[in-house]
Amino acid sequence: MRVIPVMDLSNGVVVHAVKGEREKYKPLRSRICPSSNPVEVALAFKSLGLKELYVADLDMIRGRGRNLNLLPTIKGLTGLRIMVDAGVNSAAEAEEVLRSGASKVVVGTETLRGLNELREILEAVGSDRVAVSVDLKFGSIISLSTELSGMGPLNLAKTLQEVGVGELIVLELTRVGSRLGPDVELAELVVGAVTVPVIVGGGIRSVNDILELLRVGVSGVLVATVLHDGALKAEDLARIL
């Protein structure tokens, strides 16, 4: 099981994401790191034995700036493999993210305009360097594309696999930072509908949630709040990893 910590960046600092209500996000307060400085937070993740990092550049996603300049320092000091969601919607934008130091670019349905754009990204950088995030609010797909938003999660997951996507993320934004628990039922359905690896994010409360997702075949989980509030400890991670 891959446990992947999430770092949400806005205006150069790490913020605490709660339920996708981005205008309300505040600088991170954490038990594992005294600072909201991205490099220090990444080093704290590394100290817990974690090997990967998911970065969401909220400024780029909202078209209000960028934080990609932080990636080379984070990668250089931590050695973490970094996947980045920066709201990319074209091959050129995906290539820029990868040049900045990301190991993999995350294409979120929230900002994706259509499957043609996704095909161009996959052709340009390769399916092994792309993960697509099925972004949900209350179980419904959010996307700039009416074609995508009109699909159910299972149909979309199957379609994305057919297009050539090599890894899927199922992210329920309303559960992020909520301590409500993950949607295990949906995760199990998606895992059963596709053969590519599936990562799940949103609502992880404890090691038990992670073990339950492992039981239904999920290959990885995104975590943030559960690390920062101390509910998921180093010994839990050692047990899972």
- Which residues are 180's β-sheet partners? none
- pLDDT at residue 179 is higher than 90: no
CATH assignment of 2-240, given 3.60.15.10, 3.40.50.300, 3.20.20.70, 3.40.50.720? Answer: 3.20.20.70
Summarize pLDDT for 17-70 with one digit per residue, the tens. Answer: 887 777 778 899 999 999 999 999 999 999 999 999 999 999 999 988 999 999
13-16/26-27 β-pairing = antiparallel
- The pLDDT, as a whole number, for residue 144 is 92
**Can you give the residue ranges of every domain in the chain?**
2-240
- pLDDT at residue 104 is higher than 90: yes
Residues in the chain: 241
Residues 6+ apart with CB under 8 A from 109: 132, 133, 134, 135, 141, 142, 143, 145, 148, 149, 156
Percent of the chain with pLDDT over 70: 100
Distance from C-alpha of 117 to C-alpha of 189, rounded to nearest angstrom: 27
Q: Find the mean pLDDT for residues 190-195.
A: 98
- Give residue 159's pLDDT band: very low, low, confident or very high (50, 70, 90): very high
Q: Find the mean pLDDT for residues 71-96.
A: 97
Mark 123-160 as b/e (b = at least 16 C-beta within 10 Å).
Answer: eebebebbbbbbbbeeeebbbebeebbebebeebbebb
- The pLDDT, as a whole number, for residue 20 is 78
Q: Find the mean pLDDT for residues 232-238.
A: 93
Summarize pLDDT for 110-141 with one digit per residue, the tens. Answer: 999 999 999 999 999 999 999 999 999 999 99
Residue 179 or 142, more confident = 142
Average pLDDT value for the chain: 95
